[in-house]
Structure 1
Amino acid sequence: MADQLEASVTLPSDPVSVAAARRYAAQVLSDWGLPEDADTADTVRLVVSELATNSVQHTFGQSPTFTVDLRLEREEWLRVGVTDSHPRWPKRLPAAVQQDNGRGMVIIRWLAAEAGGRLSVSPTEDGGKTVWLALPWPAGAPAGTTRGR
């Protein structure tokens, strides 16, 4: 296998794109040999849904698209990123606000910790940001040989 497999898709910043992003990520993981019912596959589908939803809802129309990136590094780490061009980084909302919404990043942080992974945010050259989740690739899971999609 190559040292790194990569796949990405750019979608319109529209609520219907969230499901498309989730399906895309699931298909890439399947192509890379991760069983659909694996815990890591479930985690990635949830993370992509949450991050894509955040991108659509919280960029206030200032990011016409968002990009989902998947990278498998040396069959050790799976990195999942969602990039948009809005400069505001995600933040934890006060507990009172979290009653009805605002728990997405809390859930993602918990999933990352539970899986032995890491959550990070990095700036993009155009002033936006990418929210990354790095997860250990499941031991024994085969990794496909195709590069990109």
Structure 2
Amino acid sequence: MMTMLEALPYRHVLTLPTEPSAVRMARETAERALVEWGIGLRHPAVDPALLILSELVTNSVRHAAVLSPTVTVIYAAGADCLAFAVHDRHPCRPQLYGAVTGTDTGPGVGGLGTVMELVLALGGTAVVRADADGRGKSIWITLPL
């Protein structure tokens, strides 16, 4: 992918309570942002991106709420790239690629397997970035447009 995340001209940040309604709110906010940024909801990357986003926020709600009262979603886009991150304050950092290969069997792995299959099928990337203090993480997804 040619675009560097720092150079993406469109950005939006949303912080929500780590509760089930966060999934719907994160998805609806993504749809509004994409339309505002001129990315049509019928673009072939949009439905998989929304599914990936929903799964990652769901994982934060299910597995991180006990240590993370909020979940933050960062949305970004450019002419050839869509990126988003889901951040919570739970220290567990899942092995994203292990979810596809079957080498990781921790909580939330079934959904992460689906996430990673979609990311890879679309030619995207996924990375887990730990917070500086080690008590939280962000899962970044980047997809070509």
Compute the TM-score of the two structures, normalised by the length of structure 1.
Answer: 0.79
Which amino acid in structure 1 is aligned with residue 87 of structure 2?
Answer: T
After TM superposition, what 4+ stretches of structure 1 lie above 4 angstroms from structure 2?
Answer: none
| Matches for 1:50-129 after TM superposition, within 5 Å | 50-73=55-78, 75-91=79-95, 92=99, 102-126=109-133, 127-129=135-137
- Structure 2 unpaired stretches of 5+: 1-6
Match in the other structure for 1:7: 12
- Structure 1 unpaired stretches of 5+: 138-149
Residues in 1 aligned to 2:81 and 2:121: alpha-carbon distance in whole angstroms: 15
Match in the other structure for 2:46: 41
Normalized per residue, which structure has more helix?
A: 2
Match in the other structure for 2:3: none
Q: What is the percentage of aligned positions where both structures have the same residue?
A: 33
State the structure with more CA Rg. Answer: 1
Compute the displacement of 1:77 (Å): 2.0
Compute the displacement of 1:14 (Å): 0.2
For the 8 Å contact 1:69–1:82, the answer to whether it is kept is yes
Compute the TM-score of the two structures, normalised by the length of structure 2.
Answer: 0.81
Greater RCO, 1 or 2 (C-alpha within 8 Å, sep 6+): 1
Which amino acid in structure 2 is aligned with residue 47 of structure 1?
Answer: I
